[in-house]
A and B are shown apart, each in its own frame.
Chain A
Amino acid sequence: MEKIILNKLPVPTFGWLKVNSAERDSAAFGSGEEREILLDSNARAEITGGRAKLMINAEENSRSTAVIYISGSEGKTVSVHVNAAAGAEVKLVEVYENSGAAIGDVNAEIAENAAFELVQLHLGGEDTLTDIRADLAGRSSRFKADIGYLLGGSDKLDINLIASHAGKKSDSEIAVKGVMGGKSDKIFRGTIDFLNGSSGAKGTENEEVLLMDETVRNRTVPLILCAEEDVEGAHGASIGRIDDEQVFYMQSRGIPTDKIYELMAKARIGQIVAKIGDEDTVRRVNAVIHGGEGDE
């Protein structure tokens, strides 16, 4: 049994909060030889167990989209390396619909004028940890992340995201929307790091968390690190229940209270589902969220 330290906060904080990193037993997250998969410009992959390393090498001025569906009850480790050359546009969709333990990391190198878009959706999960790093190395490089989670029961989710700005006029935009119910436990660490030399860079980060049950535990850790004068960085977080006025309005329209919460939760996660784009994946995701064929 080997302990591994994951999802380290780039700059540690108060020890008693226990948010500086996560410690796990490596055996729970898949075993065997690592499979290497090279994804082409319009790739689909499904990972159900074991250890997989996926690579996206986007050539200059190319466009590519990859969809990775992570499912099943086996433990797994999924690593994705993205190399976006100058002017390339890469979109990566990751859906975690796994009941077992999972580690996922995404490492992206983004060159001049290149763009990397990540859509990551978590539909439950016994113990999922994802570590995302976007290196905005080139001038005017761009990174956009839309992350959603729908957690219930005793689901556990731990996300660590770092947008590292080295390139001048680089831009990052991180939006996280989640719904938590039951005894679910989630931690989101999001860091915008403006390195010295990244003048003209901009970074924004926002997390909205809808809490549905009194037994949930939510931790939000949004960092801005700044070693450059000419940058603009902002982060925001909003954590709580549905606004009472919204509930009252919907009740006045005859909608039962239970249904109101269900509708609002689905609407919240639906904002991330809408970013997926790929119709087959959207249909499959909606089937999980709404049940049946997912045509809602």
Chain B
Amino acid sequence: MKEKTQVADIDRSLYDFRYEEDERDYLGSGITADIIKEISDEKGDTDWMREFRLKSLEIYDRTPMVEWGPSIEGLDIDNIVTYIRTKSRMNTDWDDVPDDIKNTFEKLGIPQAERESLAGVGAQYDSELVYHNVRKEVAESGVVYTDLESAMHDERYAEMIRSHFMKLVPPTDHKFAALHGAVWSGGSFVYVPKGVKLEIPLQSYFRLNAKGAGQFEHTLIILEEDSYLHFIEGCSAPKYYEAGLHAGCVELYVGKNAQLRYSTIENWSKNMYNLNTKRALVDEGGKIEWVSGSFGSHVSYLYPMSILNGRGARAEFTGITFAGEGQNLDTGAKIVHNAPDTSSYMNTKSISKSGGISTFRSAVTVNEKAVGSKSAVSCESLMLDRISRSDTIPVMDIRTDKADVGHEAKIGRISDETVFYLMSRGLSEEEAKAMIVRGFADNVSKELPLEYAVEMNNLIGLEMKGSIG
């Protein structure tokens, strides 16, 4: 009997461990004004932030759920705990971090990565940052990398943060942006001064350990003129039967001729609803590069947006999505060309197997002012069996004749001809198919730092087996 060659699901055992939380650390579940005020009290919010949170709650209450995309019916927001008190204040010395939290990040290899290849590391555990550190020489160059809440209370940065916080992603953007505005907690603040080019990356790692909880971290990065930064974020959570929610927000301001590379490997567990919002505003001659790997979550809505607001601004998006059993991953990107001579390039791959649903969704808008702009989109999807699903939903909205916009998409299976060719060169069928699938993901893995490319390969876990005949 013929057995089909199988591609294994992603192995998440590395991430699927947890420590029990003390329930006294939880604020009540649900979204009410009392909970929001309690969060503000816990954090010692300034007056404007208290008002901002309550105003966001009003917007949340009156904003309807999205009417497109995967179902989020399994997410009972009234049972999500939006804030968990930390057992630890923010530390800059790893030895001061509590043991269970430290063990979690040790297992994920975070301090090791810091020692070997990073300019700075932040680690968030549930609702709060527990560790932040930056190399001395990096700090001396004027780079600020700290937790957002401390920075908000620091008079050197308070006004800068107030004038940028949720200005790119206002609470009116959508229901979960409003929720984020009301209950946000933790996250990082990065400021790179004019002319400073950080050769080695900064990294934040987000871990949601608690059961039935939400994580709502806010990342705010400001790059001044002619600067460079590579920022890496990683996300994971252990698996519970209760639904978890991640509704983070990332706001990136890329100054004139500055360049920001933002890399993400997302590996939330399969009970998570990942409703994250990421947006970049790029000034004249600046460049934003998104590198995104989506492997985890039960449901994902993730479409980083680039607003090209200055002449010659550029955006690149490179992404891979792997949807396995029980996953509905709706990913892609949005690009708004808002100034002359801007350019964008999107290159995505998606793999669907074991009943997983992968959707590529994109929007390219070229406004009247964006004369001389160019955009190219390329997306490829691979179906590994006939019980899965893969959809491609791009939109191009062009409002000037002086633009050049191209789009191409392909969907298919592993080509028999290619397998045959590789077999004629001496490979077995299993080896040939494994090589093709690895090659399919290669355009993304080569854009990642080496240790992340290795992690991605581990995540894909391309184990091929089967008998041929």
Contacts and interface: CB of A to CB of B under 8 A. Distances in A.
B385 A11 contact: no
Contact of B397 (A212, A219, A233, A238): A219
A235 B407 contact: yes
Interface string B385-414: 110111111111111111111111111110
Contacts of B66: 15
Interface in A211-262: 211-214, 216-241
A191 B98 CA distance: 54
B391 A13 contact: no
Given A11-B393, A223-B391, A231 B411 contact: yes
A214 B340 CA distance: 13
Contacts of B410: 232-234
A128 to B, nearest CB: 19
B401 A212 contact: yes
A221 B393 CA distance: 7
Contacts, number: 142
A7 B411 CA distance: 25
Contact of A17 (B371, B386, B397, B398): B397
B371 A222 contact: no
A214 B367 CA distance: 10
Given A214-B368, A230-B413, A224 B391 contact: yes
Contacts of B408: 234-237
B363 A232 contact: no
Contacts of B334: 14
Given A15-B68, A20-B68, A222 B386 contact: no
Contacts of A292: none
B403 A226 contact: no
Contacts of B390: 226
Contacts of B386: 196, 199, 227-230
A214 B399 CA distance: 7
B411 A233 contact: yes
Looking at chain A, what size class is its interface with the partner chain?
A: 35 or more
Contacts of B56: none
Contacts of A223: 391-394
B363 A227 contact: no
A213 B395 CA distance: 21
Nearest to B409: A235
Interface in A137-184: 180
A194 B390 CA distance: 10
Contacts of B406: 236-239
Contact of A219 (B383, B395, B413): B395
A39 interface: no
B404 A241 contact: yes
Given A14-B334, A17-B363, A222 B394 contact: yes
B396 A219 contact: yes
Contacts of B396: 218-221, 237, 239
A227 B410 CA distance: 14
Indicate the member of B361, B363, B371, B391 with the most A CB atoms within 10 Å. Answer: B391
A227 B387 CA distance: 7
Contacts of B365: 17
Nearest to A194: B411
Contacts of A67: none
28 contacts: A13-B363, A15-B67, A17-B397, A19-B395, A196-B386, A214-B400, A214-B401, A214-B402, A217-B398, A219-B395, A221-B393, A223-B393, A223-B394, A224-B381, A224-B392, A226-B381, A227-B389, A229-B383, A230-B413, A232-B410, A238-B406, A239-B396, A239-B403, A239-B404, A240-B401, A240-B404, A241-B403, A241-B404
Given A214-B368, A217-B399, A218-B399, 5 more contacts: A209-B398, A223-B391, A229-B386, A230-B413, A239-B398
The 10 closest A-B pairs by CB, nearest first: A211-B401, A12-B68, A240-B404, A229-B386, A239-B405, A237-B407, A233-B411, A229-B383, A224-B392, A236-B408
